[in-house]
Structure 1
Amino acid sequence: MEASVVIPAKNESGSLPSLIKKLVALSGLKEIVVVDDGSTDGTGDIAEQLGARVVRHPYSKGNGAAIKSGARAATGDVLLFMDADGQHSPDDVHRLLQKLDQGFDMVVGARQAGSQASVGRGFANKFYNRLASYMTGQKVEDLTSGFRAVRRDKFLQFLSLLPNGFSYPTTSTMAFFRAGYSVCYEPIHAAQRDGKSHIKPLQDGIRFLLIIFKIGTLYSPLKLFVPLAFALFCLGLGYYGYTFTTEGRFTNMSALLLTTSLTIFLVGLVSEQITSLLYSSSDKYNE
């Protein structure tokens, strides 16, 4: 298998040269594809001078959009995604690729203790990992890591499902699990990023909350909605029992809780069917 390294980059002229030079020195890589996502500091020109293929966005479309552009442009059998900010080490590249040789379809670089940028993000990632593990029935060690190697033909199946923002790792991981492909994790240490992060705490905090629902809707919506519906149903039934015993009547609050539980269950049922159709469409597209 021939591997194409895909690096989404926006204003990373400071850290990108060192990364490209180290990758060029590695053996077994077919090409290095840098996606310049509307940079204003010459990132694309620098990458080109160092021998990388450059795909240019005329304006910033987002990390996920850059990943999709890079996946389309790459020609290798394997896609190796890395960040341009210096967090991912080229020394770990061959370890990920060797896992693919063992028969896996996706290998994710799982960040170990001490790799998280902050306590808050570390806590959030642990929560996502546990939720994803519950949804899939498999141990998910790092749901949001952007350092991963995948078989290109399988990754392209889900290109239409990937968002243009930062949550492409979540989407691609859950899509691979849903399709029955083999996913494994390789321990890595992620260094402190060079330069300024593009993540905005308030805006991206809300976005990360939405990831929780995306995890459910991408894999098995009923696993997310049924427990919530059941909890509200029990609460409504319990409240009805309390008001009937103390006041001898059925209250509006009981009706609201029971109706809400039914609505949530039906939403989950419809979401399950829509999810099945999405993956069915992806399979037809691949054929």
Structure 2
Amino acid sequence: MPNLSIILPAKNEAESLRTLLPRLKQAQPSAEIIVIDDGSTDNTRDLCDESGVTCLSSPYSMGNGAAVKRGARAAKGDVLVFMDADGQHDPADIPRLLSRLDEGYDMVVGARDASGQASLHRGLANALYNRIATWMTGHQILDLTSGFRAVRADKFREFLHLLPNGFSYPTTITMAFFRSAYGVAYQPIVAHQRVGTSHIRVFRDGVRFLLIIFKIATLYSPLKLFVPVSASFFSLGLGYYGYTFATQGRFTNMSALLFSASVIIFLAGLMSEQITGLTYLSTRSDRKHG
């Protein structure tokens, strides 16, 4: 059984795989390499067969996260390395990630600098996600959405049921590891420009990435998000009541609405906190009996 499995989700990435796969095999000759063909319409599968690399094909596109889950289930290694198949990640960086695992960490993430971001708006969005996640967890998070990471297979598989099928799997698995007190480290890397065209669409995926912010909260500590929002509505209601009482001598419907909203938001956060706790309790229970 190989100790290392390298998993590459791919959708129409034959152009970059043509040069990436030989470099991977040269850099990690003993590793198991698995390409997850996410409904590609190019010759990804034929290219993998020619390169002697395992290729798992889906009849239609199920999403990046779905490909990651499929690869994690099929991999035989004790350590999993996830890489993008578009040529952004350098196989020469894999030993640097693995060396951090040897220090006792459970997951090591390749952290891109500003030059490694696909575009200005993506870089700004990722910087915002990093700041929010750092605040939520109390740990410095350098790259929340990086797809280049090395992780212990048994711990990664504990959270497969939490991972979405779309693009936000890195966020989910990172917050799940922090929530479960598994060690996470960040290793600076240089990300190159991708080969071919990105599958990310600004308007279509903008809302999805906005939802990442809320996923950060619900996956880690919902009350950290809901309490400040609730307090803001309560403060607005109190301030508006003070204004209307001073000018009109009465309590208005708007003040009542703002106070009610603050209570509802707080209760929603409390319920989310309980659900989050039960989710991780169920995960630990499954791990104990698995």
> How would you bin the TM-score normalised by the shorter chain?
over 0.9
Q: CA RMSD in A?
A: 1.0
- CA drift of 1:42 comes to 1.5
* Aligned residue in 2 for 1:110: 111
Q: Residues 197 and 286 from structure 1, CA distance in 2 versus in 1: closer, same or farther, beyond 3 angstroms?
A: same
* Aligned residue in 2 for 1:252: 253
* Aligned residue in 1 for 2:18: 17
Query: What pairs with 1:211-222 in structure 2 (closer than 5 Å)?
Result: 211-222=212-223
- Aligned counterparts of 1:67 and 1:214: Cα–Cα separation in 2: 19
Query: What pairs with 1:261-280 in structure 2 (closer than 5 Å)?
Result: 261-280=262-281
Query: What pairs with 1:10-159 in structure 2 (closer than 5 Å)?
Result: 10-27=11-28, 29-159=30-160
Equivalent residue letter for 2:113: Q
| Helix, strand or coil at the partner of 1:40 | coil
4+ residue runs of structure 1 moved beyond 6 angstroms? none
Q: Which runs of 5+ in 2 are unaligned?
A: none
- CA drift of 1:26 comes to 1.6
Q: Deviations over 1:248-283 (max 9, x none)?
A: 000111111110011000000000010111111112
- Aligned counterparts of 1:283 and 1:90: Cα–Cα separation in 2: 34
- Aligned counterparts of 1:189 and 1:215: Cα–Cα separation in 2: 25
TM, length-normalised to structure 2? 0.97
Query: What pairs with 1:190-229 in structure 2 (closer than 5 Å)?
Result: 190-229=191-230
Equivalent residue letter for 1:94: P
Q: Deviations over 1:78-110 (max 9, x none)?
A: 110000000001110100011001100000000
- Structure 1 stretch displaced more, 275-284 or 147-156: 275-284
- CA drift of 1:284 comes to 2.0
Equivalent residue letter for 1:30: A
Equivalent residue letter for 2:50: Q
Q: Deviations over 1:92-133 (max 9, x none)?
A: 010001100110000000001311111111100000000000
* Aligned residue in 1 for 2:176: 175
- Aligned counterparts of 1:229 and 1:68: Cα–Cα separation in 2: 36
| Helix, strand or coil at the partner of 1:72 | helix
- Aligned counterparts of 2:98 and 2:277: Cα–Cα separation in 1: 31
Q: Deviations over 1:202-223 (max 9, x none)?
A: 0111111111100000000000
TM, length-normalised to structure 1? 0.98
- Structure 1 stretch displaced more, 49-58 or 131-140: 49-58
- Aligned counterparts of 2:209 and 2:35: Cα–Cα separation in 1: 26
* Aligned residue in 2 for 1:5: 6
- Aligned counterparts of 1:92 and 1:69: Cα–Cα separation in 2: 24
Q: Deviations over 1:27-47 (max 9, x none)?
A: 464200110111111202211
| Helix, strand or coil at the partner of 2:27 | coil
Identity %: 63
Q: Do 1:5 and 1:29's aligned partners in 2 also have CA atoms closer than 8 Å?
A: no
* Aligned residue in 2 for 1:283: 284
Equivalent residue letter for 2:236: L
Q: Which runs of 5+ in 1 are unaligned?
A: none
| Helix, strand or coil at the partner of 1:126 | helix
- Aligned counterparts of 1:121 and 1:56: Cα–Cα separation in 2: 29
- Aligned counterparts of 1:39 and 1:120: Cα–Cα separation in 2: 27
Q: Deviations over 1:117-158 (max 9, x none)?
A: 111111000000000000000000000000000000000000
Q: Do 1:3 and 1:28's aligned partners in 2 also have CA atoms closer than 8 Å?
A: no
| Helix, strand or coil at the partner of 2:207 | helix
Equivalent pairs, count: 287
- CA drift of 1:56 comes to 1.3
Equivalent residue letter for 1:187: P
| Helix, strand or coil at the partner of 2:33 | strand
